[in-house]
Chains A and B, each alone.
Chain A
Amino acid sequence: MFEDERERSETGSIDRRRMLQTLGAGGAVVVAGCLGDLDGGSNESDADIQLLTMGVGDNIEGFFDENNTAFEEEHDVSLEFTSVTWDNAKQTVNNRVDGGQAPDVARWPARWIPQLVGKDALEPLDDLMQGEFYEQFYEGMAEGCKYEGSYYGVPWASSNKCLFYNKDVFEAAGLDPENPGLDTWDDMLDAATTITNNADTPALGLAGAEAIETGSQYYHYHWSHGADLIDEEGQPVVNSEAGVQALTFYTDLHQEHGVTQSSPLSSTRQDIRQLFENGSLGMVIAHVYAGLNIQEGDADFDFGIVQVPKGPEGRYSLNTVDTLAVLSQSDAKELAHDLIEFYYDEERRFQYSSNKGFMPVVQSVGERDHFTESKVWAPFIEAGQYARARPKLSNFSEFNNRVVLAIQEALGGQKTPKEALDSAQSELEEMMG
């Protein structure tokens, strides 16, 4: 049966793909007809505008419910709200773009902008990103939405990192919980060694599992040792002397000094954060969210937050910006602008940032006492000066995956840090041509 199909399509001179596709679709329509429409005629979405976002936990669901309804009433339209999981977000949106079913407005990480722009799938927002509207954002974040001279998104959420430490554990190990002295990586290692020798709790959370975030955790070490991921020409430079030093330090924390939780190769960033939140870890590099979570829960320990330690060549805090983007397929672009402006009402931005645990992107929001006066938020606002983003590469996830493999090889003792980074480098060179 498949043979017939293929033969027929080869003799035809019209676009084979289109024909087969139509044929398939025709068959599916027939089936649909035979079964009767189970949905009572609601085929495609009949909403006036579709908003897609990712990872809406129960802490923010109410925010969207309430405001989407308010928007619907204000503009007398219907809005369809979809939240997809982060794991599937990129694929789902790409499938929908390819299939002509793109949402009108979507949350889209700035680092994924090049990929969709390459497909002509994003609408430039230059006419929106100017004047007063533009000036409300922190400049670095607004510029993070720019690609090839145009703004393809409006900053929506941002995150960065600090070092959390458990004051109770520090005290139990004989360290001063109020002056932890965690300025450099070596300071951190000293404290970790003391904790390992004097307390039962594992001293330091180290991510090593096969996951995107393992890269995000490691890059702090990489950058602060003076190493880079790509050079100005966009070529990989992961195996520099400094890079080898950084990875050596990272793996030695586990192999040589044994100051980490057990089995880091199976620990994701979420695992170590969770351990810290439950008081089972001395230190961890994490988002502001970890702190909010501990405050909210009924944890029975005290914690402190300091900046990510400094390396020989500086201090960095990995910064990620997500945007709100308009898809070019949208036939409701004006309404899409209205929706964006609606959500950038200052009060709504405040609600969002404070509920969700993402860093404010709007300056006037970030300057509110809620953030500057808070023990948890303040260090993160301060960390803004150390912000560093991942390189903007359209194939960054492939790049990142390869680096994570090298981290794992070194952590697992299969290769020395140098060997691991050297083979990553040569494969990355090949990949990026």
Chain B
Amino acid sequence: MGTVERDTDRPTRIWRGATHLYHNRWAYLLIAPAVVFLVSVVGYPIVETFRLSLYQSPADSPIETYVGLAHYAAILDSDVFYQLLWQTGRWVVLGVAGKTLLGLLIAVHLKGDIRGRKFFRTAFLIPWGIPYAISAVVFRWIEHPQYGALNAILMKLGVIDQGIGILGNPETAWIGVVVADIWIGTPFMAIILLAGLQSIPEELYEAASIDGARRWEQFRYITLPQLKSVIFIATLLSTIWTFVSFDVIWTMTRGGPINTTSTLVIQIYQVGLENGDLGRGAAYSVIGFLFLLVFAVSYLRVYTRGGDEL
């Protein structure tokens, strides 16, 4: 039935499509530069990643052999993949949650018209202005078992009497790297959420305080709903960025000890570039992409289902 209907409607459909295109020609023209740019710059690298994932491409030979889905099968069949998946999930969920909460806390307190706001706002941005790998170096130092500042403090406070190595303990190393990532990512969240807070009309709060709403209630019933779209965009992007982030873990632990801080991206680097198995690395890359895509689509769906427009 569907086919019949489509056949008879065909001219109308084309006509309607053409009219739509014509009516929205400005809309399409305005997005065209961005589309052309992105396709030119990253179109080929992305397609190449997909293509490579079907090939055996050893680092020591110019010859590539087609292997079909062999890389995918091998990955899905390996125990390390599921371990990495769990570790990546832990890294992303805790990292994004930490950055969002801390960022929100900072943004909410910076919103008001307080003395020294300029100082605070500039100061909170500092972590963002340091190259990631350098921040990671600093955190590795702070957590260093021998000359770490954290140990120095804990020793002074009498909590411990000998240096502990957070990053050298398979049970705790992941906490050490997540903390560094949260520190680096918090200023971004704070700035974005602050921008969002600033666009909430003051009248809403005035009306609410006349109605006798408490601070917490104002936050719960005005701030959060008004911030919803900003939080949505920021957490969506932060999730993607945290998922693909590389510098922090690589600089601090290289995924160790015993692979406990490794994530899919660390594995991609080790397999694809360090070990020179580019095809396998590309396959890992595609799998990671699929996870993110499914996440982004379902996150969007959940968001728009709540009645909000995209």
Asked if chains A and B come from one complex, the reply is yes
A210→B169 contact, CB < 8 A: no
0 or 1 for each of B254-275: is its CB under 8 Å from A? (1 = yes)? 1111110000000000100111
Q: Which 7 A-B pairs have the closest CB atoms?
A: A27-B40, A263-B165, A210-B256, A266-B168, A118-B60, A263-B168, A398-B275
Interface residue B119 (Cβ < 8 Å from any Cβ of A): no
A91→B273 contact, CB < 8 A: yes
Interface residue from A24, A90, A263, A401 paired with B169 (Cβ < 8 Å): A263
Interface residue B61 (Cβ < 8 Å from any Cβ of A): yes
B44→A409 contact, CB < 8 A: no
Interface residue B46 (Cβ < 8 Å from any Cβ of A): yes
Name which residue of chain A comes closest to B253, CB basis: A210
A398→B43 contact, CB < 8 A: no
Interface residue B35 (Cβ < 8 Å from any Cβ of A): yes
B257→A397 contact, CB < 8 A: no
- Chain A residues with CB under 8 A of B170: 265, 412, 414
Interface residue from A6, A31, A114, A116 paired with B47 (Cβ < 8 Å): A6
0 or 1 for each of A20-61: is its CB under 8 Å from B? (1 = yes)? 110111111011000000000000000000000000000000
0 or 1 for each of A152-181: is its CB under 8 Å from B? (1 = yes)? 000000000000000000000000000000
Interface size on B, residues (CB 8 A): 45
Interface residue B194 (Cβ < 8 Å from any Cβ of A): no
Name which residue of chain B comes closest to A406, CB basis: B258
A401→B274 contact, CB < 8 A: yes
Give 19 A-B pairs besides A9-B47, A395-B276, A398-B276 with Cβ atoms closer than 8 angstroms: A20-B44, A20-B48, A115-B60, A116-B60, A117-B60, A118-B62, A119-B61, A119-B62, A261-B146, A263-B165, A267-B165, A271-B144, A275-B146, A394-B276, A397-B274, A398-B275, A398-B277, A408-B257, A412-B258
Known: A2-B46, A265-B165. A28 touches B61 (CB 8 A): no
- Chain B residues with CB under 8 A of A263: 145, 163-165, 167-169
Interface residue B198 (Cβ < 8 Å from any Cβ of A): no
B165 to chain A, nearest CB (A): 2
Interface residue A382 (Cβ < 8 Å from any Cβ of B): no
Interface residue A94 (Cβ < 8 Å from any Cβ of B): yes
A271→B273 contact, CB < 8 A: no
A265→B35 contact, CB < 8 A: no
Interface residue A345 (Cβ < 8 Å from any Cβ of B): no
Name which residue of chain B comes closest to A28, CB basis: B40
Name the residue among B45, B144, B275, B277 with the largest chain A CB count within 10 angstroms: B275
Docked CA distance A418–B162 (Å): 31
Name which residue of chain A comes closest to B271, CB basis: A398
Interface residue B58 (Cβ < 8 Å from any Cβ of A): yes
Main secondary structure on A side of the interface with B:
helix
A271→B146 contact, CB < 8 A: yes
A210→B35 contact, CB < 8 A: no
Tell me which residues from 75 to 103 in chain A have a Cβ below 8 Å from any Cβ of chain B: 90-91, 94
B43 to chain A, nearest CB (A): 6
A208→B168 contact, CB < 8 A: yes
Chain A, interface residues (CB within 8 Å), range: 35 or more
B254→A262 contact, CB < 8 A: no
Tell me which residues from 208 to 238 in chain A have a Cβ below 8 Å from any Cβ of chain B: 208-211
B2 to chain A, nearest CB (A): 22
Interface residue B228 (Cβ < 8 Å from any Cβ of A): no
0 or 1 for each of B152-190: is its CB under 8 Å from A? (1 = yes)? 000000000011111111100100000000000000000
Can you list 8 A-B pairs, Cβ within 8 angstroms, ordered by A?
A27-B41, A31-B37, A94-B59, A118-B58, A209-B256, A405-B258, A408-B256, A412-B257
Name the residue among A31, A210, A405, A414 with the largest chain B CB count within 10 angstroms: A210
Interface residue B76 (Cβ < 8 Å from any Cβ of A): no
Name the residue among B144, B169, B254 with the largest chain A CB count within 10 angstroms: B254
Docked CA distance A9–B173 (Å): 46
Interface residue B290 (Cβ < 8 Å from any Cβ of A): no
A115→B256 contact, CB < 8 A: no
Known: A119-B61, A261-B146. A405 touches B39 (CB 8 A): no
Interface residue A280 (Cβ < 8 Å from any Cβ of B): yes
Docked CA distance A21–B45 (Å): 8
Interface residue A264 (Cβ < 8 Å from any Cβ of B): yes
Docked CA distance A118–B57 (Å): 12
Interface residue A241 (Cβ < 8 Å from any Cβ of B): no
B171 to chain A, nearest CB (A): 10
